[in-house]
Structure 1
Amino acid sequence: MMLIEKTAVPDGSLPVDEFKAHLRLGSGFGQDSVQDAVLTSFLRAAVTAIEARTSKVLFERTFELSVRVWRDLGSHGLPVAPLNALTDLEIVERDGTRTSIDSATYWLERDGHVPRLRSTGVALSTVPEAGEAVVTFDAGFGVDWMDVPADLRQAVLLLAAHYYEFRNETSLSDGCMPFGVTSLIERYKVMRLYGGGAR
């Protein structure tokens, strides 16, 4: 299984001014725009880290999921949420030939943690040997910063500030995340049972 992000979060959607205000509260951060590119990179890194920890997409964008075998004949759990729309399902043969599947044969079961692609019949379209199924979908809380839940917005600002404050530190352990951030994102994390079986 491979998830590809087809569209990116525009720089303009990231809350640079709000992040500056957040930094000024604790450190007297200046008003100028000299560091905007640096702040944008820390915000983008924080968004990416929180999305990875929670499997939640903060800003809406398009993804493509490649699957070599369905987890279940009649359904397949999708790796991120919230899903807004399934836009395409294709079967790709070993030689690269792609066939778009009729949207009447499948539907999206919405779920806050593990949305599912479901067949309207007995089974999803057969994935050929050495081929794959490609699911294209739109996911995310919204296109604007204010569409993101307030606790996740706060987590992004806290984590970006942590990255900024410790930008020259090389001795922090891998995956280091402040307690305040982990507390804010805890309820968004997916519970995984028996090696990912919850999906």
Structure 2
Amino acid sequence: MMMVELNSVPREALPIADFAAHLRLAEGFDKLPGQMRLLEGCLTAAIAALEARLGKYFLSRQFIVRTQKWTASDRLQFPAAPVTEVEQIKLVHSGADEVIVDPNTYALQQDAHRPELVSRVGALPALSMNSSAEILVRAGFAAEWSSVPAALRQAIMMLAEDFFERDSSVEGSNTLPCSVCLLVEPFRDIRLRGRPGC
């Protein structure tokens, strides 16, 4: 199964002004060459790092989920959360026309960690060896930054600050700062939880 992002977080959705205030940058920072791009890069890197670590998407956007096998005959467990809408299911058969599944035959079962697509009619459409399903979904906590959970917003600011102090380099250790780990711990799937050191 693959979950592919169809549109990235738009620049205008990034809290660049909030991040500048968090860093206590002097007035006029935005006039310095490359400064805005650096802040944007740090925020983008921090969001991507935490989304990958948690299996959660923060700002709402479209994804396509491709699978050749359902989790069970009547359901598919999505690989990330929160999924807020299933917009379309398309069946792709080798050498045949694509088929759009009737939206009245399935539903989204929302869950903080393991959202699922479930059948309303007994079983989801059968997938053969030469067929697959493409599910268009919308996923993310919120469309606007201010509606993302406060702990996650703070964690992103702190991790972005860490990247900023290292000139936006995200190479090297994969260990998150302890303070960031403590903030995001409640959002981790219990199956993935270990020590708070991430």
TM-score, normalising length: structure 1: 0.89
- Asked if structure 1 preserves the Cα contact closer than 8 Å seen for 2:38 and 2:168, the reply is no
Q: CA RMSD in A?
A: 1.7
Between 99-108 and 161-170, the greater mean CA deviation after superposition: 161-170
Q: Name the structure 1 match of 2:104.
A: 104
Instruction: Show the 5 A alignment for 1:1-199.
Output: 1-24=1-24, 29-31=25-27, 32-33=29-30, 34=32, 35-95=35-95, 97-167=97-167, 172-173=172-173, 175-192=174-191
Deviation at 1:167, TM superposition (A): 2.6
| Separation in structure 2 between the aligned mates of residue 30 and residue 176 of structure 1, nearest angstrom | 30
Is contact 2:92-2:132 (8 Å) kept?
yes
Instruction: Report the Cα distance in structure 1 between the residues aligned to 2:191 and 2:170, rounded to whole angstroms.
Output: 31
Count of matched residue pairs? 188
Secondary structure at 1:192's aligned position in 2? Answer: helix
For 1:138, the aligned partner's letter is R
Task: Summarize deviations over 1:30-77 as a string: whole Å, max 9, x none.
Answer: 332130111001101111111111111110101100001111111111
Secondary structure of the structure 1 residue equivalent to 2:66: strand
1:39 aligned partner, one-letter code? L
Letter of the structure 1 residue corresponding to residue 124 of structure 2: L
Gaps of 5+ in 2: 193-198
Query: In 1, are the aligned partners of 2:77 and 2:117 still within 8 Å (CA)?
Result: yes
Report the CA distance shift for 1:168/1:105 in structure 2 as closer, same or farther (over 3 A): closer
> What is the alpha-carbon distance in structure 2 between the residues aligned to residue 85 and residue 57 of structure 1?
13
> For residue 93 of structure 1, what is the amino acid of its counterpart?
H
TM-score normalized by structure 2?
A: 0.89
